[in-house]
Amino acid sequence: MSTRLATGGRLIDRNKPLGFSFNGKRMTGYAGDTLASALLANGQMLVGRSFKYHRPRGIVARGAEEPNALANFGESAAFEPNQRMTTTPLTEGAVIASQNHWPSLEFDIGAINARMARFLPAGFYYKTFNWPRGFWKHIYEPFIRRSAGLGKAPKERDEDRYEHLYAFCDVLVIGGGIAGLVAAKAAGDSGQRVILIEQTGSWGGRAAVDGGQIDGIEVMQWIKETLQELEKNKNITIRPNTMGAGIYDHGYTLAYEQTHDLNAPRHRLWRIRAAKIITATGAIERPLSFANNDLPGVMLASAVRDYLADCGVSAGDRTVIVTNNDDAYRTAVALKEGGLEVPAILDARPDPLGQLVEKARDLGIRVEAGRGVASVTGKGRVQGVDVCLHAGEGAVLETIPCEAVAMSGGWSPVVHLWSHCRGKLIWDEEQAHFRPDPSRPPINHDGQGFVITAGSASGALQTNDVLADAHRAASGAGTPPVSDAISEGPIMPVWVMPQGAGIEKRAKMFLDYQNDVKVSDVQLAAQEGYESVEHAKRYTTLGMATDQGKLSNINGLAVLSDALHQPIPDTGTTTFRPPYTPISMASIAGDARGELFQPLRRTPLHDWHEDNGAHWEPVGQWRRPYAFVRTGESVDQAVAREVTATRTSLGLLDASTLGKIIVKGPDAGKFLDMMYTNMMSNLAVGKCRYGLMCSENGFLIDDGVVARMSEDTWLCHTTTGGADHIHGHMEEWLQTEWWDWKVYTANVTEQWAQIGIVGPNARKVLEKIGGIDVSAETLPFMTWAEGKLGGIPVRAFRISFSGELSYEIAVAANQGRALWDMLHAAGDEHGATSYGTEALHIMRAEKGFIMIGDETDGTVIPQDLGLDWAISKKKDDYLGKRAQARSHMTDRNRWKLVGLETLDGSVLPDGAYAVADGENANGQRKTQGRVTSTYQSPTLGRGIAMGLVSNGPDRMGDVLNFPDTDGKPHEARIVSPVFYDPDGEKQNV
């Protein structure tokens, strides 16, 4: 059983005990423990169940590569599933629960799947559940879905804070092992700005565990002194608990900081722009594939050593070492020196010779060369190993009782970050791993590599090679530090143990522990033609678990290569994708949640609206009042009241959201003639003109009133939703096509408050306030003037979107509220009524004015809307002109704008289509038109609608059927779209 030893543990503080619970059971650990080390210290080897077979699973690794030890962690709003126990620091009161079992971790009904394993090999889903039809959706899938997933779904809203931070540097060093420290120091010493990040809370990486000397001093002391030097250097920023998550184009790097500090944001997401990135990300030990290698108690040899040195935790009193390389001997030596038993080292190599081997032998450890594990024995946990000849088929030579197995299949450099931006790998035959190919790095905009690897991330596995490589990576001056590390003997690649294992054994050798992918599964994939490494991955789910194959991928593709009788490099790897380990969704969202999700744009009158019953409607990032609802009134009643008040006396509209773009310069007129279908260059100063803008494809994209301010300046009004993208549209043409035209544009939408004063009494109110002359003679329809109103400087536009006598008064945004209040006070005697967007829409529809987004949908040209009058015939060109000449655009049967009146006065259903006789070749009902806007008109007391109907303007009086979605017919007659004041007498007074 795993336990805490009486002494040792360089990272834990035995003076700070921490209480926590696991599956409701009270346990104690120490500050400095991870959840995993604390559980091991409490003898908890079994920590979860695997995905498919619900096999018992124990802790395998010490760090980010852990596939098994995932927990439901925390409670309520702080609950988090799939928390990796090996990288989560223990905190007081931590609540940990194991995942994926029912009713309990120890007794899991789902484990029946393991008994059924022979029925459920890779790809069995694809061959089964296929019949009878309908069973998949209703019977099989619900069953499979219930067993899906690992952790529980969170239920509550996360209340923690998350932060986005930005940084830049000359050199970003990722990884705080000795390689990272050397590289950061060398780069900093040369005067470059350096950021050094490390995913854990401690420095020095593996070297801190394995000891020895660097430059003649003990390695721990060397790490401490080097860190101090880095801290002293102002060019260098150091951040622990910060993981390099992803590298994107142009050296854009994502780093993920877990603060482990209740007073700080929980996670920080760093976006770092670095000219050069040094990845000193180390290497990960590979498991070995032998039968029952998934039993709790089978761990990576390095992890066994780490838990001992870092936390004073032993995986068991008796640990058998299984290896194909020298490094695992360090674990044997450490255990032995720690007073624990090592019954044997089973070394697959026929003739291990290195100095470490000698050291183990000298300590009296039994070293068995050419041996392997035939099978691990035990129920639910390791109880012994059956020893066999590695070169044989697995005949058992002896059984060695033990509590733990420490395995090492060699080391693979962590190449993820290097590979995110397509750095290439080469297969290193001698060390049996893929390592970065320095001649094919990720390429920057200048054709140069921008990522360089350092230390074991480069494939340098011996300490002196690590130090030299890191020094070189940072172009350090002078000579690199030197260690006293002893040299290791060569590795012998072992992908399946024993070599001649039969199918029974191969079906018990796990490659991917979490997803239950076995050697036999990968071989089956190859047998069935899933030969590409991507096919094999997807067919077996190898490497698709939360660890993304950190332990399993290389072993898996070696097995695949063997099955296909091809060299490993020919098989290649699957694609490495960000992030290196999973990062929280909340950290990606950052602060932008709730009210801050998107900026809320407010007009200067927003607060007034809020206080006066505004029923809000989101329009882009704005909120506009849909209507102002009074006590005892429905929204519809409010809308009707607003329309009637405006038509009969006086309405006030907050039109501030309307886009306002200044276009200025010697070529501004020429430019606007291209942007609009109308001629704008000949508009007289002081005059307004209603303009249409089309896309290159001829479709109407925006409309609005253009006013000429001066000889070289125009003010273009756009729709509320259009302001930003129309400004962008203008700039795109100016910057990419007409870059030599002398034109400037500025979006001044928010600089102005704009108020519509609408209705028969509009002029009276303005005259009452006094100032600018707004008489019909001085300020006729479609003109504008500058002046003062009640002492406030204003621009008065005589324009109308309602068909009434109407002014729009623009004032500096900070004067908006003053003018609004003044208008309400002066208009009180006329029952001045604020109205919202719905009343606006109804009044424009009564008048037959089109609305962008209602009458248009990206497929409608101005000619469809009877707007030919707004298309200049004098111009050679404008955006969309050529497109509008295409055969389909000039087809007389195009759907064109008409008014629609139901025969019974009811309101036509919105969005309904007018059906025609018969079906088309695809069996769809033929149509001949559709409703684009439909309202109950308070003015006319009946339903009115606008629509697009095939050849509609030539079919006045025809009756069409617009069935509802349930087929119920609605008959309507084609009429003129202008329902109200067709001669324009009201707006033109």
Residues within window 123-162 making contact with other proteins, judged by CB under 8 A: 124-131, 133, 136-137, 141, 144-146, 148-158
Question: How many residues of this chain bind other proteins (CB under 8 A)?
Answer: 119
**CA atoms within 13 Å, Cβ hemisphere of 293:** 37
**Site membership for other proteins, residue 80 (CB under 8 A):** yes
Q: Exposed (0-12), middle (13-18) or buried (19+): which is 597, by Cβ within 10 Å?
A: exposed
Residue 815 CB contacts under 8 Å (≥ 6 apart), including other chains: 753, 792, 793
**Site membership for other proteins, residue 630 (CB under 8 A):** no
Identify which range of 309-317, 430-438, 538-546, 555-563 contacts other proteins by CB under 8 A: 538-546
Residue number with CB closer to other proteins (361 or 538): 538
**Site membership for other proteins, residue 538 (CB under 8 A):** yes
Identify which range of 165-173, 398-406, 578-586, 644-652 contacts other proteins by CB under 8 A: 578-586
Residue number with CB closer to other proteins (266 or 330): 266
In 153-209 the beta strands, taken as DSSP E runs, fall at: 162-174, 194-197
CA distances from 461 to 312, 438, 457, 698 (A): 26, 16, 9, 64
SS3 793: strand
Judged by CB under 8 A, which of 248, 728, 778, 788 binds other proteins?
248
Kindly write out the interface string for residues 591-610 of this chain, putting x where it contacts other proteins by CB under 8 A and - elsewhere: -xxxx-xx-x----------
C-alpha span between 957 and 969 (Å, rounded) = 18
Residue 582 CB contacts under 8 Å (≥ 6 apart), including other chains: 82, 546
C-alpha span between 524 and 539 (Å, rounded) = 10
Residue number with CB closer to other proteins (825 or 883): 883
**Site membership for other proteins, residue 532 (CB under 8 A):** yes
- Which of the residues 259 through 298 are near other proteins (CB under 8 A)? 271
Residue 42 CB contacts under 8 Å (≥ 6 apart), including other chains: 4, 22, 27, 28, 29
The sign one gets for the Cα dihedral 582, 586, 591, 597 is positive
**Site membership for other proteins, residue 853 (CB under 8 A):** yes
Kindly write out the interface string for residues 381-400 of this chain, putting x where it contacts other proteins by CB under 8 A and - elsewhere: --------------------
Residue number with CB closer to other proteins (582 or 787): 582
C-alpha span between 533 and 563 (Å, rounded) = 12
- Which of the residues 889 through 918 are near other proteins (CB under 8 A)? 889, 909-913, 915
Identify which range of 106-114, 590-598, 945-953, 969-977 contacts other proteins by CB under 8 A: 590-598
C-alpha span between 279 and 281 (Å, rounded) = 5
Residue number with CB closer to other proteins (15 or 924): 924
**Site membership for other proteins, residue 588 (CB under 8 A):** yes
**Site membership for other proteins, residue 923 (CB under 8 A):** yes
> Min. distance of Cβ 469 from other proteins in angstroms?
27
SS3 442: coil
Residue number with CB closer to other proteins (629 or 753): 629
β-strand pairing of 94-98 with 398-401 = unpaired
β-strand pairing of 267-279 with 162-174 = parallel
Judged by CB under 8 A, which of 5, 31, 486, 589 binds other proteins?
589
Judged by CB under 8 A, which of 27, 421, 614, 706 binds other proteins?
421
The token pair at 560 is 């695949």
**Site membership for other proteins, residue 631 (CB under 8 A):** no
Judged by CB under 8 A, which of 5, 14, 28, 81 binds other proteins?
81
SS3 283: strand
**Site membership for other proteins, residue 636 (CB under 8 A):** no
Judged by CB under 8 A, which of 965, 969, 983, 985 binds other proteins?
965
C-alpha span between 980 and 855 (Å, rounded) = 18
SS3 496: coil
**Site membership for other proteins, residue 95 (CB under 8 A):** no
Short-list 291, 287, 348, CA closest to 520: 291
**Site membership for other proteins, residue 575 (CB under 8 A):** yes
Q: Which residue type, as a one-letter code, is found at position 335?
A: L
- Which of the residues 857 through 886 are near other proteins (CB under 8 A)? 857-859, 883-884, 886
Q: Are 931 and 878 in contact (CB under 8 A)?
A: no
Residue number with CB closer to other proteins (84 or 371): 84
> Min. distance of Cβ 920 from other proteins in angstroms?
7
C-alpha span between 551 and 284 (Å, rounded) = 8
Residue number with CB closer to other proteins (136 or 741): 136
Q: Exposed (0-12), middle (13-18) or buried (19+): which is 767, by Cβ within 10 Å?
A: middle
- Which of the residues 660 through 699 are near other proteins (CB under 8 A)? 697-699
Residue number with CB closer to other proteins (152 or 687): 152
The token pair at 291 is 């039968």
**Site membership for other proteins, residue 370 (CB under 8 A):** no
Kindly write out the interface string for residues 219-238 of this chain, putting x where it contacts other proteins by CB under 8 A and - elsewhere: --------------------
Judged by CB under 8 A, which of 528, 712, 750, 971 binds other proteins?
528
Give the helix ranges, DSSP H, for 799-893: 816-827, 837-846
- Which of the residues 945 through 964 are near other proteins (CB under 8 A)? 963-964
Judged by CB under 8 A, which of 507, 559, 706, 948 binds other proteins?
507
**Site membership for other proteins, residue 487 (CB under 8 A):** no
**Site membership for other proteins, residue 119 (CB under 8 A):** yes
Judged by CB under 8 A, which of 539, 671, 690, 980 binds other proteins?
539
The token pair at 447 is 């054709």
CA distances from 577 to 236, 261, 337, 501 (A): 29, 29, 41, 34
C-alpha span between 512 and 66 (Å, rounded) = 11
Tokens 């007129």 -> residue: 669
**Site membership for other proteins, residue 534 (CB under 8 A):** yes
> Min. distance of Cβ 382 from other proteins in angstroms?
26
> Min. distance of Cβ 619 from other proteins in angstroms?
7
C-alpha span between 246 and 865 (Å, rounded) = 51
**Site membership for other proteins, residue 529 (CB under 8 A):** yes
> Min. distance of Cβ 252 from other proteins in angstroms?
7
CA distances from 176 to 64, 172, 173, 465, 638 (A): 15, 11, 8, 17, 66
Residue number with CB closer to other proteins (877 or 966): 966
Q: Are 111 and 49 in contact (CB under 8 A)?
A: yes
Q: What is the dihedral of CA 67, 68, 69, 74, to 10 degrees?
A: 90
Residue number with CB closer to other proteins (325 or 934): 934
- List the strands of the sheet with 398-401, edge to edge: 371-377, 384-389, 398-401
**Site membership for other proteins, residue 121 (CB under 8 A):** yes
Residue number with CB closer to other proteins (144 or 776): 144
Identify which range of 188-196, 322-330, 533-541, 978-986 contacts other proteins by CB under 8 A: 533-541
**Site membership for other proteins, residue 968 (CB under 8 A):** no
> Min. distance of Cβ 100 from other proteins in angstroms?
8
> Min. distance of Cβ 99 from other proteins in angstroms?
9
Residue number with CB closer to other proteins (819 or 852): 852
**Site membership for other proteins, residue 744 (CB under 8 A):** no
Short-list 91, 105, 100, 101, CA closest to 45: 105
Cis peptide before 103 (omega within 30 of 0): yes
> Min. distance of Cβ 124 from other proteins in angstroms?
7
Judged by CB under 8 A, which of 104, 527, 566, 775 binds other proteins?
527
What is the rounded radius of gyration, in angstroms, for the C-alpha atoms of the chain?
38
